[in-house]
Amino acid sequence: MKQIAAAAVAIFNNILKVEKYMKLVISVVLIIFGVFAAALTALLWDYIYYPLIASTAEESAIAYLKASFPEEVAIDDVTYSKPFGNDEGEYFITVHPTAKPEIKLSMNVSQDFNVDEKNFKKSKWRYDTILEYVPLINEMSPGLSSYAVNMFIPADLLSSYPAETKYGEIRKLHENVTEEYLFMSVLIDRDFSEQRTLEYG
């Protein structure tokens, strides 16, 4: 009888040890999972939080545009991006003048909602240049819609003039250091012939 009792006690003690060991294992697993989840949340927090408050970046962009752009605009797209390794990300915002929806302007807004003025100046002055080139494009190829205009302006001029300044005015004052490039996309029919045109119209 004593042997049975001793065996029962031994089994009970073993069960307690196993239960204690299992609790320890579960605790360790939960701690590891918790640390991993916390690290992952910290790593991805910006990618979760900042896209949720993109409307604040939109408001900053609209306020800036009202002060520095003479036309009414509509926002096309807002995207948050933060390359791995960077301390901060930024919003990339695309807008268009409501009167000219085919022309896009781009803006960069930091995650603390400050507009990158130099970036916007380049976009706005490119817009000014497009408007100047449109009459020339229409004269060269009426109805052509596949074109792009780019321009180069030195960094010191970017800092010297506010965005409200027309690019044409800057060019007149600094024509030796500014450049514009016009790109026009034209489709070429390699099978074109006068006879074929007469046949098919």
pLDDT of 4 reads 59
pLDDT of 3 reads 59
pLDDT of 198 reads 47
C-alpha dihedral (58, 59, 60, 62), degrees to nearest 10:
90
pLDDT of 83 reads 80
3-state SS of the chain is CHHHHHHHHHHHHHHHHHHHHHHHHHHHHHHHHHHHHHHHHHHHHHHHHHHHCHHHHHHHHHHHHHHHCCCCEEEEEEEEECCCCCCCCEEEEEEEECCCCCCCEEEEEECCCCECHHHHHHHHHHHHHHHHHHHHHHHHCCCCCCEEEEEECCHHHHHHCCCCCCHHHHHHHCCCCCEEEEEECCCCCCCCCHHHHHHHC
pLDDT of 49 reads 75
Q: pLDDT digit of tens for each residue in the chain (201 aa)?
A: 655 555 555 555 565 565 666 676 666 667 766 666 565 565 566 667 777 888 899 999 999 998 888 889 999 999 998 887 778 889 999 999 998 888 889 999 998 999 999 999 999 999 898 888 888 877 777 766 677 788 888 888 888 999 989 998 998 999 888 888 877 776 655 565 555 544 444
